[in-house]
Amino acid sequence: MARIGTILGEPGERLLLMGNEAIARGVLEADAAVASTYPGTPSSEILMVLSEVAPKVGLYAEYSTNEKVAFEVALAASWNGLRSVVTMKHVGLNVAADSFMSAAYQGTKGGMVVVTADDPSMWSSQNEQDNRMYAMFANVPVLDPMDPQEALEMTKYAFQLSEEVGSLVMLRPTTRVSHTRADVKIGDLPENKKNAVRLWGHFEKNPEKYVVLPSRARRMHPEVLERIEKAREILENAPFNWEEGSGEIGIIVSGISYVYLKEALHKLGIEDKVSILKIGTPFPLPLKKVESFLRKFEGGKVLVIEELEPIVENQIKVLVYDKGINVEIHGKDYIPRIYEMTTRRIIEALEKYLGMKHDVDFAAIDEHFKKVSEKLPPRPPTLCPACPHRNTFYAIKRNAKGKGIYTGDIGCYSLGALKPLETMDTIVSMGASIGLGTGMAHAQKDKRVYAIIGDSTFFHTGLSALANAVYNKAPMTVVVLDNRITAMTGHQPDPSTGLTATMEPTKFIDIAEIAKAMGADYVAVVDSYDIPELLKVLEEADKHQVAVVVSRQPCSLLRTRIQRKKGESWPLYQVDPDKCTGCKVCINAHGCPAISFDKEKNVAVIDEVMCWGCSGCAQVCPFDAIYEKLPDGGRKYDVLDEENKRRWQQWNSML
């Protein structure tokens, strides 16, 4: 593995930084004292790099149990007069929204920046909601960076703006800003950060502001509107909104679409024919700047280019109406409203808008690509080799014998919905498995309900749902896939890990003990690598009303990484071609990516490089055709012996 790019360079240095790393650098340059998050793609790396450097710069960094808690942690820091940042993915703000909407009324003291990373095209998300809408909804200013350099500058600016206005400020990168690496020129670090000074604030009690009773909220609402108009005045002069060019084609462009537009103009060879108004603050929009730009095109037309929703476009249309400006406004009639923006999409829109032609024949490429794609086997993401979840899914499905409803949740284990496991009938949002499961149990009675949830998701929003299930007597089995870490977003610790964000030991919170304390009728902890034991426990669980089965084994990706670093190895499993009948149970019911099928020889084959030593395939093989290859070349067919169970226990205590 390549070493992650450091964000602790010298002022003026050019570093290759991912957008998220640039934002983290901005947080330090702004002298923020507190950073909190619940991880979520594409935002996760901001806190990953901040927590890595936190002890060296005196920053307090925490992984909170969900976005709402993370938001509140940062808000309190602001109310203590400290600068704070909370980061989350776009849908994380849905979880934090309750506090976010209140705090928008109550305002801030120390600068507070809410980073919500949008995911156009849904590379790793359940929707592509445009969080600039949230900014408008809450009357909170939002900054929309075009690239990693601007993301760094905007982060610093956002703290300043927050303090000048007394409001939360949202920074809204998208996937292609957060996950693009670029040469970024970094600024200086404040003395506090250089000397690792941990800043402490002071809480001055002020119930008129901090206790949001209805009478006070009524007084606050006009203040919210005043703040947003004050922010608009300031943003008229923000360095992120500018005009360039003096051509006769007028284009207003927001956020990352600017870089695609520049490339499209370059490819079309019409750079000198356009005038651009680049917008970095889509709300509140700098209306004076926009009006003066529009006035230049009176009697003509202007095209508005932005990713996803017509946020800027609609504000401009209102302005044109209110001010009686004689300009046709185009936007979503040429620019797609769904999926992420690309250079090609802008080239195609401009071809239509301006009636011209580009020299790359996209249609020919598409036609060829369509023909090729139809012949390619799909390769959706899949659970890793030795992923403990695979065994648990296999056991849940086998135990239910076709009579199960599987309400699922969000994490790597969402992949259990795909072939060949297909053990997930619903996925809605974080923690929804148990709520949906409770509803399923009260809405039908022909099938047993299995709510399947990971450890981090359990602490996120599963806790209150489990209390609800017990309280409301919902017959169901809650299966917690406890791999002791938040795996999907890059292995951030959670309360089941026993470590904090800065890798200090802390309490390990045992989910089984929580379930017992809540009064679940049956609670069991089982090793995910022991399939017969899983089956036994799941069968017993079916006899009880609310049963909680904690299937525990650390993430295999993390375990093998740790083992590699320590120079340890793991067992290798191989197929005995003389015993393999080609029945494909290992592939069709278990489906580890290390196993493929040799059609000519009619046998399964295990890739030595990809086998991470769990023995799951050997346990599901009906013909005992898979063995552990011993270091001396011998073969061990009894994969459930005491030695293996001891090894799994040892792996279980590795974190």
176 binds other proteins, rule: CB under 8 A: yes
Considering beta carbons, is residue 110 or 416 the nearer one to other proteins?
A: 416
Binding mask 313-342 for other proteins (x = CB under 8 A): -----------------------------x
If the CB atoms of residues 498 and 593 are measured against other proteins, the closer one turns out to be 593
Torsion of CA 622, 623, 629, 635, to 10 degrees: 140
Q: Nearest approach, Cβ of 487 to other proteins (angstroms)?
A: 9
SS3 261: helix
Work out which of 382, 429, 468, 574 binds other proteins, going by CB under 8 A. 382
Q: Which is nearer to other proteins, 217 or 360 (CB)?
A: 360
Asked whether position 42 contacts other proteins by CB under 8 A, the answer is yes
β-sheet bridge partners, residue 16? 183
Does position 352 interact with other proteins (CB under 8 A)? The reply is no
* Position 126 contacts other proteins (CB under 8 A): no
Q: Which of residues 251-280 bind other proteins (CB under 8 A)?
A: 256, 259-260, 262-263, 266-267
Residue written as token pair 């400006």: 325
By CB under 8 A, is residue 375 in contact with other proteins?
A: yes
244 near 275, Cβ under 8 Å? yes
Length of the chain: 655
Out of 362, 471, 508, 623, the residue judged to bind other proteins by CB under 8 A: 362
Which residues, numbered 603-642, are part of the site for other proteins (CB under 8 A)?
604, 607, 609
R_g (Cα) of the chain, nearest Å: 28
Contacts of 238 (CB under 8 A, 6+ apart): 157, 280, 281, 286
Q: Binding other proteins by CB under 8 A: which of 203, 321, 369, 623?
A: 369
Report the alpha-carbon distance of residue 530 to residue 512 in Å, rounded. 18
3-class DSSP assignment, residue 464 = helix
Give residue 596's identity as a one-letter amino acid code. S
Minimum gap (Å) between residue 231 Cβ and other proteins: 28
Among 83, 179, 491, 552, binds other proteins (CB under 8 A): 179
Nearer to other proteins, 256 or 311 (CB): 256
How far, rounded to the nearest angstrom, does the alpha carbon of residue 80 sit from its chain's CA centroid?
29
- One DSSP character per residue, 329-344 reads EESTTTS-SSS---HH
Closest CB 280 distance from other proteins, rounded Å: 16
The CA distances from residue 321 to 130, 138, 314, 324, 329, in Å, are 25, 24, 11, 5, 11
Q: Is there binding between residue 563 and other proteins (CB under 8 A)?
A: no
Alpha-carbon dihedral of residues 57, 60, 63, 68, nearest 10 degrees? -130
351 forms part of the interface with other proteins (CB under 8 A): no
356 binds other proteins (CB under 8 A): no
Site for other proteins in 398-457 (CB under 8 A): 412, 414-415, 419-420
Q: Stretches 283-291, 309-317, 486-494, 501-509: which one binds other proteins (CB under 8 A)?
A: 486-494
Write the interaction track for other proteins spanning residues 217-256; mark x where CB under 8 A is met and - where it is not: ---------------------------------------x
Closest listed residue to residue 78, CA positions, set 159, 170, 134: 159
257, 278 contact by CB (below 8 A) = no
Structure tokens, 284: 């509140």
